[in-house]
Structure 1
Amino acid sequence: MLRDMQSRTVSPVFIGRGTERASLEEALARAEEGAPQAAVIGGEAGVGKSRLVEEFLTRARTSGAVTATGVCVEVGAEGMAFAPVSTVLRGLYRQLGEELSQAAGGFGGELARLLPELGRPALGGHPLWDGEVRGRLFELTARLLETLAQERLLVLVVEDLHWSDQSTRDLLGYLLRSLQRGRLLLLATYRSDDIHRRHPLRPFLAELDRLRTVRRLELPRFSREEVRGQLCGILGAEPSPELWEQVYLRSDGNAFFVEELASVSGDGQGMLSDSVRDLLLVRVEALPETAQRVVRLVAEGGSKVEYGLLRAVSGLGEDELIEALRAAVGASILHADEDDTYRFRHALMREAVDDDLLPGERSRLRRRFAEALEREPGLVAPGALPARLASYWYHAHDPAKALPAVLKASTGARCQHAYAEQLHLLERALELWDSVPMELRTSLRIAEEAESYPLCDCSDEVLSQLDLLAEMVLAARFAGEPERGVSLIKRALRALEGRGHPLREAWFWTERSRLMRNLGRSNGWEELARAQKLIEDMPPSPVHARVVTEAAVWGAVYEPGPGTLTVAERAVALCEEVGDELDGLHARLSRAAMLVETGRGDEGFAVFREVAGRVEDEDLVGVFTRSHINLQSLLESTGRSEEALEVAEEAMRMAYRYGLRDTQSWISGNRSDALFSLGRWEEAKAAALEARKHARTPTTRALAAQRLVRLALAQGDLAAAGEGLQRMEEAHRYYEGPAPQYAHPAAQYRIAFAAAEGRILDARRLFAQAVDAGLAPGCGCYTWPMLDAAVLAESQSRGVPAAEPGHAEALARIRGLAAELRRDYPVWAAYGLMVEAEAARAEGTAKVADWAAACAAFEELTRPYELARSRARLAEALLAEGERERAGALLAQAHAVAAGLGAEPLVAEMARLAQRGRLSLQEQSAGSCEPETFGLTPRERDVLALVAAGRSNRRIAEELFISPKTASVHVSNILAKLEVGSRGEAAALAHRLGIVGGRGLTGAGTEGPA
């Protein structure tokens, strides 16, 4: 009723901004074409940012766009996280209704944290184990917007970013980086004059400057001629030269000040004082007294105040309140929104009114708001109630009321995964702590997030404050503020000194271990060892379960082997004894991984598959990130690459459903590993690039770079390898340490790159540094390839005078480390044989038998690159012993595979060997080598034999004891390798060339990875 009754203080004619409007129009056009765009509009307060956005939204709506606007509110800094995003989503929901619900189908429970209209927020997603819990919310929000933007053009606005909470900034940053498709334009505004050097928005804006899809617009003040045009619009006539000049000089081109000056000095006479506040208060003071009271209430109620709340606080009758609001809206002081809320037309006006109040008057008005909400909580939206009460009571200077309200608001922020705001609220609770009576402090149950933390069970006020510190430690970790977390732990441990509470001390030491790893200061073992020492003689408890489970997880990363297996088994038993199911699943996964590492693969994989089944059935997202990814990685590390790809397919489907962007990077990276092993290098590169696209953390960015470096080195692209190594080094700075899964591949590629550039001494030094760092041997997947790179560098240095000193010592170190490594699986044993043979070659003592053993081992595996290299080495050894015919056949066979892979360094090496031995790389010798197999693995030849016999995929699966899906994958690979279009063509070619039947058939049912 009151929305359209403002007096004419705003020009009906939009003035200027031609350049900015053109830029926005261009962004809108590109968004219409399906390329998401964004623009960030800055400018001083009152310069006209909101008016520009309003005009643009009107233009966008006429072209068929759906628009929605959210405004950052000052209360957001006190815990009302995601407020503008929730408002935008609510605006879309009002316009699209069921269509939005359908677009959110399957993940509405997560999005309900931002849009309660979608139902109850989903349970689970405990961040203690689920590191991507907040990222999942962000990814699902992006997916919702992309889905909605497929059918229509969306223009979404977030105003007043200078008041934004950190969670809103993080979500916006994620959207701006990750939105890839859809007809979508995001706009945001901020006050540039409020962005001081330490303002939290400054680094956010700097980050946006690096995004090519984000436009930065800075609105200047109006020129003298533009001020004249604005006055013409407001006055409805040409202003007098005197008024034009005075308004321009007084306003200095600020559009809002022009409006204010024009509204109070239409005749150019009686100009106001130079005080900006006085200028802004003139129209307020001209209102009736009741209207002035309501305006002051709105100023203290927040950025927007609900009509019902105003009525409850003001004590006015309905008619009297409406008349007061009518006067304030008519004077262009307040603005009435469609949702029956009221706000100041401009924030500068609100600030002036607020500044005009006495300190006691402000706190009294805030108390009245808080009391009204306690009497009638339904006066505001349920999601906003805790934060509003916390803010009102805090500013009312009533600690006894404020502390419980602040703690409740922190719980609400945590439920939204707004951990930065949760930490801010808990900091406020700590500030209030000493001002609250002790009986109230000791009655509060605080550490709800710290599930294994031993909550205070007595009236000891120091211990009850420790509960608060425990909750703050976790909030700091989840908010990405590890330094603050370490500081809080130091404070807690000082308070615990001499108090005889080892369980609490152990809990804080365990958390310190995690934070030290996050900060890259240490591997965290010293802290974990101290925690274990504190509880070793105590009866089992949830703290025991957490500490020992954490130790098992630590060992699985840093010291995989029998010792960690013992720790993991103890963790499993403890979790079962105390009934800790979540930690118990993680303990079982650590135990399963160690079973695989110590040669008990079948037993370990059975546990993995059992836990993975529970994860799928119960949607245990926090466990999924270990169950499926580790299963995939360990299958690959033990030579079961095809099975690893099957797990990857299911894992990727689940990761997409859960919205786990960084987890998708892990899965794609592991897929790249399996595809590289199988010789499908183009697919491996595509998977590595996909991993890089999804990477959100330093670890996943480093691992994606590693996979691309591996491919570049194998294919001889040293420029790409060097660039990738640089990216890997930058990301690894945060995670560098003794964990084999990170350190061994990093050392491998540094060594290989140095050797490829002829820097043999550097390669030797890098290997020595890796060994001297005390790296745990780790599993064969990570350590054997590092040894192989080191021995290959020594082999290449044979005969180089500068490399002779230290050559024998380097080989001795390689052999020493190789002797410590396990060879429980065929692929590890094959690498061991290859490293031994290459070491002998480096000494000039390699025998045909050495390389024949390596070839035989790799012939039983799906490792075409390693097999081609071993065959080339065997050919070299045969040639040295005068067996030219066998050497030529093997070399030609190896060359065909290496050339097909694009392994240029290996191809060039074989070409040099052929030239030296006067051999033809095209030569085939039926008497001394097997028929051409087109790179088919032994298992693929088994499958091909059954295809040639007319068997269906299901029959093939039954005869070979594999799954039908695996049989289908094998058939697809066979068709691709033979370059035929049907099973019949494959069978005919196989019989014609002798690939199946006689020597070319390995025999159905042969043992091998399925």
Structure 2
Amino acid sequence: MREALERAKALRWAGRPEDAALELRKALAGAGDRCELLYLLWDCQFVLGDRAAAHETLLEAKGLAEGKMVARVAVAEASWLMSQGEYREAMTLAGSVDTDDDAVRAYALSVRGVCEAFLGDVDLGIATLEDARTAAHRSGCVRELTRAVGNLTFVLGSSGRHERSARIGKEALTRLRIQGMAPTFSAVIRYNLAASLFALGRWQELDELEVPDSIPGNKAARILLCKAEAAALRGQDPDDLIEEAEKIIDGPDALFTAQCTYARAVAARAKGQYRAAVELCRETVADAPEAMTRGEVLRLCVEGLGAARDLRTAPGRVTRLDDPEATEQELLARLPLPHGPEDEVWRRVAFAEAGRDSWAEIALDWDRLKMPYQAAYARTRCGEPEALRHADRTALRLDARPLAKMIERQARRQRIPLLHEDKPQLGTLTPRERDVLELLGWGRTNKEIASELVLSVRTVGLHVSHVLAKLGAGNRSEAARIARDQT
């Protein structure tokens, strides 16, 4: 039995839960001491999404648990309760676990910390998750360390503390890479990092974030959708990234649908297809299942309200909404209650799009959360001369071309000079883009640049596109010439 258990563990931690479950079922057929096998089988079934079978396995393990397995199974039961939304019961059960095993203690603290955060005490939840991380470090158990860090970065990000979440996530990924651990361990951490990099406007780092083939399909797909959202905000077509995500996801879920809709609505709005953006958001929010997070619903409502406002003021012949006031009221009525400081600001943005809140104050709120794109958008809507100039500088730095065009239109209407210089500026390039530009000047191909900078060819292609766009160059040779002229 012990050999079968070790084989199953190796398969599970290598990201092959189906094979691990098969190995465990074979072992269970002739096992005398079944509890530890059942415990690992429940974990595999849970990860694979077979929740009914997982619950039955857990109940069987609970009936057989003795000694050290009592605490393990109790924490697994708390984790199960948490997955069902029974946060208070899960928190109580996880808090009652008494064990000297640091790995089991770390698991219990992870469950308790998430529940505390979901029940409204985010600061206490974060402190508990830090304790979980410490216990996991002491235990030397990589699985529990990644669980603790994954939960910690999730709670930090979902409460608007993206900078801290990104820092902890990057440190953890570096440590796992040094230890030679399989990428499957890092899936949750990697996705949380992608979400925080997107929020922080660190889109170049997001472009460079690798998505290893061994990462489970759902997490890999969501990382690609974070990249798609960033592409849309830069005026690029997100469809290729969305289609790639659709190929690898293990059955689209509510969060996936919301992210796809958001990226497509942003892209439609950037092209001036305001009505299409409104309808995309309206339809998705109207059909939103309970599994869709409040934050995603808020973002979709805000994007729909913003597109509806653009449609009202758009010049020329555009297809107007049949009843713009009714559309506005419908989207406002669907706004969920906020969960955390970031959600609170998104809700304020929704009311500001309807003319019921202060854009200047909202811009400062986004500044406090260190979300530069959203702050620049709020300053654009505010329309004050200095606010527009501030927004313009941010849009140029982020390469957010649709927002930059929106700022230019607003500035022209109000006759506000943006203090642009006519010639393209190398100062708008990121350090990595400067590296790529230098190698372009030496006549390197994308493949050669990728090899020299240790990047993927696809990432280099994105950098080259950004360099050409920022410098207004028609091709690689022209970009190199502009660089020579200004150095």
Partner Cα distance (2:330, 2:263) in 1: 18
Tell whether the 8 Å contact from 2:308 to 2:324 is kept in structure 1 after alignment: yes
Partner Cα distance (1:598, 1:853) in 2: 28
- After superposition, the Cα gap between the structure-2 partners of 1:717 and 1:580, relative to the gap in structure 1 and judged at 3 Å, is same
The residue aligned with 1:395 is none
Aligned residues between the structures: 412
Partner Cα distance (2:168, 2:345) in 1: 24
2:329 is the alignment partner of 1:786: no
2:248 is the alignment partner of 1:700: no
Cα RMSD after superposing both structures:
4.3
Shift of 1:766: 4.8
Tell whether the 8 Å contact from 2:197 to 2:205 is kept in structure 1 after alignment: yes
The residue aligned with 2:378 is 870
- After superposition, the Cα gap between the structure-2 partners of 1:761 and 1:629, relative to the gap in structure 1 and judged at 3 Å, is same
2:123 is the alignment partner of 1:602: yes
Tell whether the 8 Å contact from 1:548 to 1:570 is kept in structure 2 after alignment: no
SS of the residue corresponding to residue 663 of structure 1 reads helix
Code of the aligned partner of 1:134: A
The residue aligned with 2:481 is none
Alignment counterpart, residue 914 of structure 1, candidates 394, 411, 424: 411
Code of the aligned partner of 1:861: L
Structure with bigger strand share is 1
Partner Cα distance (1:868, 1:131) in 2: 47
Tell whether the 8 Å contact from 1:677 to 1:863 is kept in structure 2 after alignment: yes
Partner Cα distance (2:150, 2:301) in 1: 25
SS of the residue corresponding to residue 798 of structure 1 reads helix
Alignment counterpart, residue 667 of structure 1, candidates 189, 192, 195: 189
- After superposition, the Cα gap between the structure-2 partners of 1:604 and 1:868, relative to the gap in structure 1 and judged at 3 Å, is same
Alignment counterpart, residue 267 of structure 2, candidates 736, 740, 753: 753
SS of the residue corresponding to residue 358 of structure 2 reads helix
Partner Cα distance (1:735, 1:445) in 2: 37
Alignment counterpart, residue 731 of structure 1, candidates 248, 269, 272: 248
Partner Cα distance (1:726, 1:893) in 2: 35
Measured against aligned partners, the alpha-carbon deviations of 1:977-998 in whole angstroms (never above 9, x if no partner) come to xxxxxxxxxxxxxxxxxxxxxx
2:310 is the alignment partner of 1:796: yes
Shift of 1:705: 1.1
Measured against aligned partners, the alpha-carbon deviations of 1:82-106 in whole angstroms (never above 9, x if no partner) come to xxxxxxxxxxxxxxxxxxxxxxxxx
Code of the aligned partner of 2:246: E
Measured against aligned partners, the alpha-carbon deviations of 1:260-289 in whole angstroms (never above 9, x if no partner) come to xxxxxxxxxxxxxxxxxxxxxxxxxxxxxx
Tell whether the 8 Å contact from 1:851 to 1:871 is kept in structure 2 after alignment: yes
Tell whether the 8 Å contact from 1:125 to 1:622 is kept in structure 2 after alignment: no
Tell whether the 8 Å contact from 2:146 to 2:186 is kept in structure 1 after alignment: no
2:14 is the alignment partner of 1:134: yes
Shift of 1:836: 1.5
The structure with the largest alpha-carbon Rg is 1
2:421 is the alignment partner of 1:900: no
Partner Cα distance (2:53, 2:38) in 1: 20
Alignment counterpart, residue 77 of structure 2, candidates 548, 553, 561: 548
Structure 2: runs of 5+ lacking an equivalent: 421-426, 429-487
Tell whether the 8 Å contact from 2:79 to 2:90 is kept in structure 1 after alignment: no
Partner Cα distance (2:410, 2:277) in 1: 26
2:332 is the alignment partner of 1:815: yes
Shift of 1:898: 0.7
SS of the residue corresponding to residue 862 of structure 1 reads coil
Shift of 1:663: 3.4
- After superposition, the Cα gap between the structure-2 partners of 1:622 and 1:813, relative to the gap in structure 1 and judged at 3 Å, is farther
Partner Cα distance (1:641, 1:125) in 2: 38
The residue aligned with 1:220 is none
- After superposition, the Cα gap between the structure-2 partners of 1:590 and 1:809, relative to the gap in structure 1 and judged at 3 Å, is farther
Measured against aligned partners, the alpha-carbon deviations of 1:905-947 in whole angstroms (never above 9, x if no partner) come to 0001111111222221118xxxxxxxxxx99xxxxxxxxxxxx
The residue aligned with 2:351 is 836
Measured against aligned partners, the alpha-carbon deviations of 1:640-698 in whole angstroms (never above 9, x if no partner) come to 233223312331133221513133454344333333333333223222xx2x2465321
Code of the aligned partner of 2:220: R
- TM-score for both structures, normalised by structure 1: 0.36
Tell whether the 8 Å contact from 2:102 to 2:139 is kept in structure 1 after alignment: no
Tell whether the 8 Å contact from 1:675 to 1:681 is kept in structure 2 after alignment: yes
Tell whether the 8 Å contact from 2:11 to 2:20 is kept in structure 1 after alignment: no
Tell whether the 8 Å contact from 2:294 to 2:337 is kept in structure 1 after alignment: no
Tell whether the 8 Å contact from 1:125 to 1:133 is kept in structure 2 after alignment: no
Partner Cα distance (2:135, 2:358) in 1: 46
Tell whether the 8 Å contact from 1:777 to 1:821 is kept in structure 2 after alignment: no
SS of the residue corresponding to residue 418 of structure 2 reads coil
- TM-score for both structures, normalised by structure 2: 0.71
2:290 is the alignment partner of 1:775: yes
- Which residues of 2 match residues 538-617 of structure 1 at below 5 A? 545=74, 548-555=77-84, 559=85, 564-573=86-95, 575-576=97-98, 585-617=106-138
Structure 1: runs of 5+ lacking an equivalent: 1-112, 114-120, 136-169, 171-413, 431-440, 453-470, 479-510, 519-523, 841-845, 876-886, 924-933, 936-1010
The residue aligned with 1:714 is 233
Tell whether the 8 Å contact from 1:871 to 1:891 is kept in structure 2 after alignment: yes
Alignment counterpart, residue 632 of structure 1, candidates 146, 149, 153: 153
Tell whether the 8 Å contact from 1:589 to 1:608 is kept in structure 2 after alignment: yes
Partner Cα distance (2:55, 2:32) in 1: 29
Partner Cα distance (1:918, 1:746) in 2: 37
The residue aligned with 1:860 is 368
Partner Cα distance (1:644, 1:573) in 2: 25
Partner Cα distance (2:281, 2:182) in 1: 36
Partner Cα distance (1:798, 1:125) in 2: 63
Shift of 1:134: 2.4
The residue aligned with 1:445 is 32
- After superposition, the Cα gap between the structure-2 partners of 1:694 and 1:851, relative to the gap in structure 1 and judged at 3 Å, is same
- After superposition, the Cα gap between the structure-2 partners of 1:853 and 1:421, relative to the gap in structure 1 and judged at 3 Å, is closer
